[in-house]
Amino acid sequence: MSTSTASPVVPVIPEPGQPLRIVVLGSGEGTLLQSLIDGLDSTVTIVAVGSDRSCRVLDRAASAGIPTFLVEYTRGDDRSDWNRRLAEAIAAHTPDVVVSAGFMRILGPEVVGRFRGRILNTHPALLPAFPGAHAVEDALDYGVALTGSTVHLVDDGVDTGPILAQQAVPVHRGDTRGTLHERIKTVERRLIVDVLHRTARSGYTIDGRKAWIND
């Protein structure tokens, strides 16, 4: 008797006629959150914004009338306990999808396992090239002609999850980290809004290393 090793196909499908409920996580100025606040239509609802520190992202959410939560992390804290508390805080808002938008903490198994296949992250490079926190500098140092933005699903690795969408950004002669990153951010803001709108319409499917939006 043969045993199939095919990966299971896991669909993520929004409730018919209901907006896609998202929780956004951020750690800084909240410019990506602002692009969601300004760019999302009624098919997507930001039900809460959370952070690991007191920062501008929470202020932007509050100004837009969006509920916020803070699960503060201090150096030396038990990471497993912090991740469990973060998972509980997210779950309290019953999201369909969690969006990591400039969230500067690596999500642990307590969060990833609870929301597996439902956490989206934006990354300022064309994964699998240049993962990690220094993607823009790494692309410049390597001398590539193209980099870009990726929206991918979060798994147990660092920037290793299945890719949902990508868009290229050319590297110009004389670019600095700042100039290149600003062009990537412009693309990133449009890309995540587009992915969320398409997900709200038809969901997405995960099959092992592959993922695609169902439209």
Q: Does residue 123 carry a catalytic annotation? A: yes
β-sheet bridge partners, residue 166: 150
- Which DSSP helix (H) or strand (E) runs through 76? none
Query: Do 49 and 58 meet the contact criterion of CB atoms below 8 Å apart?
Result: yes
Residue 128, Cα to own-chain centre: how many angstroms?
Answer: 15
Q: Determine which one of 93, 123, 172, 181 is catalytic.
A: 123
DSSP annotation of 134 reads: T
Burial state string for 71-84 with b = 16 or more CB within 10 A and e = fewer than 16:
bebeeeeeeeebbb
3-state class (DSSP) for residue 111: helix
User: What values do phi and psi take at 151, rounded to 5?
Assistant: -110, 120
Cα distance between residue 55 and residue 43, in whole Å: 28
Going by C-beta distance under 8 Å and a sequence separation of 6 or more, which residues neighbour residue 201?
14, 43, 215
Q: Which residues are catalytic?
A: 123
